[in-house]
Amino acid sequence: MNVLIVYAHPEPESFNGSLKELAVDTLTGEGHQVQVSDLYAIKWKAVLDDDDFTDRMNTEIFNPIMEQVNAVEKGAIPHDINIEMDKVIWADLIIFQFPIWWSNFPAILKGWVDRVFFNGFAFNLAEMKLYDNGPLKGKKAMLSFTTGAPRELYSAQGPHGEIEILINYFNHVLFEFVGMEALPYFGVFGHGDLSLEEREQKLDDYKEILKKLD
């Protein structure tokens, strides 16, 4: 199996970094092929803007959705985006590894989605290639994340609200929208308050999940 890990944390020695390295080592050890897009390391441009489109179909009004289709048809996709698209095409499974900040992806990861999941590539509005008919059908996706707050704060009674609502948003409106199958997530809640033994247990838990991926 080909696995792409899209990794979004600015500190390599973070717990997210440990989860990413564990995934690489475990999946490789199981015989899978692994690539990592380390977004901070490559200084990924997070903002979708008109600089991404050098051969515009409309130079007066910037419509990114239409310009994406135009860029795909003309083969005018920026080099950095094209590299990531090739990885998406190659991958059977995409794992997003990230910390939840402000109840969402870090901006750099959201920017990866904005710029890579082109209309005309990951979905196609004109041809209604969405959800069960999405262009990335047959691929799988998985969220692996950490939170600063403990699980009880991400509950229906907690101040942050039930995290399953957020997870469903990621899985359904992102992964399933483009045709991918969303696998169960792996989350480490309140990781900063965990003991060394508890952190090691979380790593062991994740390793067992990774070994069962097929």
Catalogue the active-site residues.
148, 154, 160
| Matching residue, tokens 């997210």 | 16
Q: Which residues pair with 129 in a beta bridge?
A: 124
Distance, CA of 188 to CA of 199 (rounded, Å): 9
Sequence-ordered strand ranges (E) for the chain: 2-7, 33-38, 93-99, 140-146, 181-182, 186-188
What would the two tokens of residue 161 be?
Answer: 């609200």
> What is the rounded CA–CA span in Å between residue 194 and residue 202?
10
| Number of other residues whose CB lies within 10 A of the CB of residue 112 | 22
